[in-house]
């Protein structure tokens, strides 16, 4: 593997890592929204008893 190939591989890894960071951030937001919805649903269900 020559130096340019190594640099290209490093750049590709950096790019993929950034994409994964963005996906993780989006998943954390969705998880927070779901937790809120579950909490609200539990509150609603408790009023039905």
Q: DSSP secondary structure string, 1-49? A: --HHHHHHHHHHHHHHHHHHHHHHHHHHHHHHHHHHHHHHHHHHHHHH-
Here the tokens at position 31 are: 């998880």
Residue-level pLDDT at 36 = 99
Residue-level pLDDT at 49 = 80
Chunk the chain into consecutive blocks of 10 residues (it has 49) and report each block's average pLDDT, rounded to whole numbers.
95 98 99 99 95
**32: number of Cβ within 10 Å:** 10
Helix (H, G, I), strand (E, B) or coil at 2: coil
Distance of CA 7 to the CA centre of its chain: 27
């Amino acid at each position: 593997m020559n130096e340019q190939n190594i640099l290209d591989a490093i750049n590709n890894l950096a790019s993929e890592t950034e994409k994964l960071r963005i996906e993780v951030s989006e998943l954390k937001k969705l998880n927070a929204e779901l937790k809120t919805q579950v909490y609200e649903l539990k509150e609603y269900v408790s009023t039905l008893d």
